Structure 1
């Protein structure tokens, strides 16, 4: 007897609000619910046929939700990032010396899983830190009930200025920033990070800062000053080494860290108490490679994990890992985790809609990967180039012929003196 989840349970799983993380309430909700989705059970074709029409419809909807909520898998590249971020945040949180906390820069191209990897590490850290202190802020001011926010996640504004950067941080805590001057915003940021017990401040898409703009240089000065607040600063961005963020930095070979000079101003609106250099660990979250035996094995293991999460009725063992399929998938996605996930996700839906119920190269040839995402900035490299996209079979319709331009009215034109008539 095949049992499906009750309709109310299924409806709750399928209609859960898409999570955001840029406010305290939304971050907490994501942390608490990120692992609650239960994938659909695997059925064979004959089992699916034995269901009623309504049960088939519900099961198909459930497995579609499973395909678009694939389990986040660890890769050798993400494990390197996770270990560094985890070590730096936990060590800094336990440090009692007044010295500046070293930060972390996580670099990589778009759709390689930088944000998800960092957020997963920090969600686990927050869970452990809250449990260690009985879910209370150990440094709360007596007689107050400030929100306890060990982690603050902030999206860098597209046009980052010191004022908008401060407002984005304060928006995380729900603070009212109307009619506040920049010095007032700065003081409020300082107070909020301290009062809410923030141990890690994440600034995502940091490479939206353009170092040729004066406002962006001031914003970077501001960010450096945040490191004086006993907070671990984690900057996530695309190709940080070539973005200009490190152009004033130098590599310390002994400490194996990037050293950034202090702010250009002696004090940044009261924050820069000392002219201490700021140190960052820079780690790269790379794509999959397919050259050495170890790299090939890692990619095959990742494909095996994807295959285990698919719920196609005619799927066969080794569907993604046998024959020339691994090389095909590498060619189509260039080893970028997000592009691979998008290709598999869209391919699984096409396999269901067409009734083929399995993935092969012929079916995936029909899938055009599209990354139209209004939340990403193409100019900052947040949307990668898509390699190996097949050309559609039918050429696009030719553009309509240009409409003839309407002639200018010449009624009132002055053509000069009238020519003499012949024989005049």
Structure 2
């Protein structure tokens, strides 16, 4: 019996308990540091899913290995793969096009940038970081993993891509400190702003930086003077042979690009003309002239192409999940796609959270299967607008239908009301 099991071991490829513990408990450096970014770039998508075990094979596995397999299944189900969705591909194509063009420019003093906008849980950071990591892989391979601009005798490490989160209380000095913190560069407390800007410029050049990703750019508020200065500093960084890639929530509505409007016909954001255009006949160069804005959308469920894209995404998740009673079509058959669209409105982050929680509940309950009745017990909290500027919310049931506006009722005449003895004595 043991020989037959070793010849056809259903747990072949399952890591040891020590390795599983290392994967779960192992520390990961912050992504906004060089070590953290390199860890992300070299480890993203490398998790091997747990082997598929049928209910018939389950009793053949020793109890000790059953515990290991259950733990590794939880790790697998909690780390859904980043798939090539239409929205993800659109962001990747734009970033690749912009980086490819900017890195080939010779005499242009300013490098055009990219802004990626979208509501929460739309996958902005994941898409941008994935595109940045892919660019760095290609750039390092192209230059044999050496910095082509390094000075002889220097030992600066090569960092083609820098990822930084916009400071909560943003000032030009705090932004410089965040960029320098990526390299763990020492900063003098008495350093003036011009000195910090020069240090940032030298660091970007010495480390061969080609792309600077600034996440959470929506923390800026243009009514604050410091935030306006930060925006000016970012525009200045674009003259350092660096491509700026900004991500944030509702960028078009926070003032970075003035109050942009969505054109349904061209499906692009358009900026209204400045007052200076009508007064002086000239429009000054603003942020929107240096950046291309792309709006990261959610899944749609209207056209056959959109439906197929959503079903393909569900199929990818279905193949990744590890549940003993899972069957083909668990997420793609019957009314499950419509149910998942209705529960999540096509928001990729909410969809992933719902299915991850559903997989945990399926394992804990012993059901080992995801269906609508199991997902009904999981509550999702949706925050922020889920509706695109040009399309209605899909699959809206009676509970989400607009209520008919009711006219205000005429107040009741109280002249002949009996107010009781107290009212009579008071009169």
* TM-score, length of structure 1 as denominator length: 0.80
Q: Distance in 2 between matches of 1:190 and 1:199?
A: 12
Change (3 A) 1:276 1:329: closer
Q: Does residue 61 of structure 2 align to residue 51 of structure 1?
A: yes
1:150 touches 1:197 (CA, 8 Å); kept in 2? yes
The partner residue of 1:108 within 107, 118, 125 is: 118
Shift of 1:184: 1.4
The partner residue of 1:210 within 184, 205, 221 is: 221
1:258 touches 1:282 (CA, 8 Å); kept in 2? no
Q: Does residue 168 of structure 2 align to residue 158 of structure 1?
A: yes
Shift of 1:152: 0.5
Specify the SS of the correspondent of 1:100: coil
Q: Does residue 28 of structure 2 align to residue 2 of structure 1?
A: no
Q: Does residue 375 of structure 2 align to residue 367 of structure 1?
A: no
1:112-127 equivalences in 2 (<5 Å):
112-127=122-137
Shift of 1:276: 9.1
* TM-score, length of structure 2 as denominator length: 0.79
Q: Which residue does the alignment assign to 2:328?
A: 317
Q: Which residue does the alignment assign to 1:343?
A: 354
Shift of 1:235: 0.6
Q: Distance in 2 between matches of 1:312 and 1:46?
A: 13
Q: Does residue 47 of structure 2 align to residue 37 of structure 1?
A: yes
Q: Which residue does the alignment assign to 2:294?
A: 283
Shift of 1:229: 0.7
Specify the SS of the correspondent of 2:290: strand
Change (3 A) 1:43 1:168: same
Change (3 A) 1:295 1:285: same
Shift of 1:55: 1.0
Shift of 1:52: 1.8
1:91-102 equivalences in 2 (<5 Å):
91-102=101-112
Shift of 1:119: 0.9
Q: Distance in 2 between matches of 1:189 and 1:305?
A: 42
Q: Which residue does the alignment assign to 2:405?
A: none
Q: Distance in 1 between matches of 2:208 and 2:385?
A: 31
- Number of residues paired by the alignment? 364
Shift of 1:127: 1.2
Q: Distance in 2 between matches of 1:75 and 1:276?
A: 32
The partner residue of 1:229 within 236, 240, 243 is: 240
Shift of 1:20: 2.9
Specify the SS of the correspondent of 1:11: helix
Q: Which residue does the alignment assign to 2:339?
A: 328
> After TM superposition, which residue ranges in structure 1, 4 or more long, deviate above 4 angstroms?
248-251, 256-261, 275-278, 381-384
Shift of 1:245: 0.6
Deviations 1:74-114 (A, max 9, x none): 11111111101011112211222233111001111111111
Change (3 A) 1:249 1:325: closer
* RMSD of equivalent CA atoms: 2.9
Specify the SS of the correspondent of 2:156: coil
Change (3 A) 1:220 1:366: same
Q: Distance in 1 between matches of 2:272 and 2:32?
A: 27
Q: Distance in 1 between matches of 2:232 and 2:94?
A: 24
1:106-185 equivalences in 2 (<5 Å):
106-179=116-189, 180-185=191-196
Q: Distance in 2 between matches of 1:51 and 1:120?
A: 38
Change (3 A) 1:126 1:208: same
Deviations 1:253-290 (A, max 9, x none): xxx998999xxxxxxxxxxxxx8975211111100011
2:253 touches 2:259 (CA, 8 Å); kept in 1? no
Shift of 1:368: 1.8
Deviations 1:42-101 (A, max 9, x none): 111121222122111110100100011111111111111110101111221122223311
Q: Does residue 79 of structure 2 align to residue 72 of structure 1?
A: no
Shift of 1:178: 3.7
Specify the SS of the correspondent of 1:229: coil
Q: Distance in 2 between matches of 1:362 and 1:276?
A: 53
Q: Distance in 2 between matches of 1:207 and 1:382?
A: 16
Shift of 1:200: 0.3
Segments of structure 2 that go 5 or more residues without pairing to the other structure are 1-8, 263-267, 274-284, 388-393, 397-427
Shift of 1:248: 8.2
Shift of 1:35: 3.0
Shift of 1:36: 2.4
Q: Distance in 2 between matches of 1:259 and 1:362?
A: 47
Q: Distance in 2 between matches of 1:319 and 1:29?
A: 34
2:74 touches 2:360 (CA, 8 Å); kept in 1? yes
Change (3 A) 1:196 1:383: farther
Segments of structure 1 that go 5 or more residues without pairing to the other structure are 262-274, 372-377, 389-424
Specify the SS of the correspondent of 2:57: helix
